[in-house]
Structure 1
């Protein structure tokens, strides 16, 4: 088959659209989509963006594109933000990949550790939870604590935005998880930014790009990303939802786009206050009296060690 745009031999068939792309046109198509997602309100002068970097394909593709977009923009700055959760035999490789990327692209970076904030690491937390017979999923704890730390660093670094490498698959999974759980409030918060001085506005440059296209883009650019999956990921509820959405996409190409588009339409009818309160314990922005992180730390009986 031929590329739809330039008539060169096709190397990729986009099932949901029926389009065929050559390598160059595929790269250009992804680049244009991400630029459109960001828009002129973000790609402009005097902006500082913190980039959440794990060293995986999503975060490095996002960082590559942000670097390309902001390279010609005066007084714009990027800084890579990395969180080492403390997962033996896994996280170090990802962090090293992210550091190598930043050095190659001349991007300033900062690395922080779970231990810097809670005096322990994720592996120890998992063992502690088992000892206390707590039904705490490692991914649930890891996700909220990592986001809290990234937000803290972004504030300290005075970032205007915090870029997260969530792709279309991630967004569709999050939407489905909240649909199934009937968590309407969390569903609404997922699509709306909090207006609070203690919360750095998130941007998700890859939110319209399917995971398989992010992977292909990374391989075409020969980015050296961390390929190993997190050892705890198979235990997560999200992994089950991922199987469901993948099967839907296989049987009905475009299903993941439809899930997200339906969610975006639903947001128009959800009336959730944009202003949020603060956690009574740590003082950070929270939609509940005690934030999820402090709740977890309290259950684990290590709240007194927190430096939040």
Structure 2
């Protein structure tokens, strides 16, 4: 089978009914990332922070951003890697990230849980701190702290945007999970990023790219990444939702895009405003008197004077 350009096809894209050669496949992925970003972001004099974990999504995102900005005057990319302190797992991820950043001449900042909150994730779990906070799974704690620290350092480095490697599948899973649970607040917050003082606007270049195509893009561009799952992850609700969406996509190719389009239409009719305050301890924008991270650290009997935001 031939690609529309005349070269031999290597991939059949079911939802578009197209056969693509490697070059056209790569161009298609990069075109969609460029479409998400738009001219307001791909411009002169912009600084973008990139959250990298060592997995396929974040490294593919960094690779594409490097290509899109390599000829843009006065543009700057800086990678942020959060080391949660998971022995035997995070060291491997860190090596993949270091190797990638060195190969592509990208600046890298390593942020450690231990330095920022006083504990590694291993120590937090070992000391049974999560149960004291009424947190059922490590992912719930880790995700909030990671987002907090990425925003903190993107702000500190003067970034205009913070790039996060959420792909199309991630979007669909989150949308349906929140909808089924009736969590309207999370549905709105997921789609509408906070802006203003204290927040670095987040961008998601892989928003229109399915997970299997992110993986394929990594393989044909020889991007090495960590394949092992986090030892604290489990067969969660998200994992089950992923399987459901895969079944739907198999029966009706393109349903993932339909879920996303429907969600974006719905957002236009939702106008939920939330008062933004300042955390009394660290100054981070939040909805109450304390941000989640500081309220948790307070329970640890540790006040985070060392994570105050720059004024």
Q: Which residue of 2 aligns with 1:103?
A: 102
Counterpart CA distance in 2 for 1:302 and 1:255 is 48
Instruction: Tell whether 2:243 aligns with 1:246.
Output: no
Q: Which residue of 2 aligns with 1:115?
A: 114
Displacement after TM superposition at 1:50 (Å): 0.5
Alpha carbons 1:193, 1:274 under 8 Å: kept: no
Q: Which residue of 1 aligns with 2:156?
A: 156
Q: 5+ unaligned residues in a row in structure 1: which ranges?
A: none
Alpha carbons 1:34, 1:206 under 8 Å: kept: yes
Alpha carbons 2:135, 2:141 under 8 Å: kept: no
Displacement after TM superposition at 1:37 (Å): 1.1
Q: Which residue of 1 aligns with 2:185?
A: 185
Q: Which residue of 2 aligns with 1:214?
A: 214
Counterpart CA distance in 1 for 2:258 and 2:45 is 36
Counting only pairs closer than 5 Å after superposition, residues 1-308 of structure 1 correspond to structure 2 as 1-3=1-3, 5-127=4-126, 128-129=128-129, 132=132, 134-273=134-273, 276-299=276-299, 301-304=300-303, 307-308=306-307
TM-score, scaled to structure 2: 0.92
Displacement after TM superposition at 1:55 (Å): 1.3
Alpha carbons 1:196, 1:275 under 8 Å: kept: no
Q: 5+ unaligned residues in a row in structure 2: which ranges?
A: none
Going from structure 1 to structure 2, the CA distance change for 1:22 and 1:274 (only over 3 Å counts) comes to: farther
Counterpart CA distance in 2 for 1:251 and 1:291 is 43
TM-score, scaled to structure 1: 0.93
Counterpart CA distance in 2 for 1:137 and 1:34 is 32
RMSD between aligned residues: 1.9
Alpha carbons 2:145, 2:293 under 8 Å: kept: yes
Counterpart CA distance in 2 for 1:49 and 1:274 is 27
Displacement after TM superposition at 1:19 (Å): 1.2
Counterpart CA distance in 1 for 2:264 and 2:282 is 32
Displacement after TM superposition at 1:281 (Å): 3.9
Displacement after TM superposition at 1:270 (Å): 0.6
Size of the aligned set, in residue pairs, is: 306
Greater shift, 14-23 or 154-163, is seen at 14-23
What's the CA shift string for 1:178-207, capped at 9, x where partnerless? 112211111111111212211100010101
Displacement after TM superposition at 1:27 (Å): 0.6
Counterpart CA distance in 2 for 1:31 and 1:136 is 38
Secondary structure (helix, strand or coil) at the match of 1:233 reads: coil
Counterpart CA distance in 1 for 2:302 and 2:243 is 35
Displacement after TM superposition at 1:62 (Å): 0.7
Secondary structure (helix, strand or coil) at the match of 2:234 reads: helix
Secondary structure (helix, strand or coil) at the match of 1:260 reads: helix
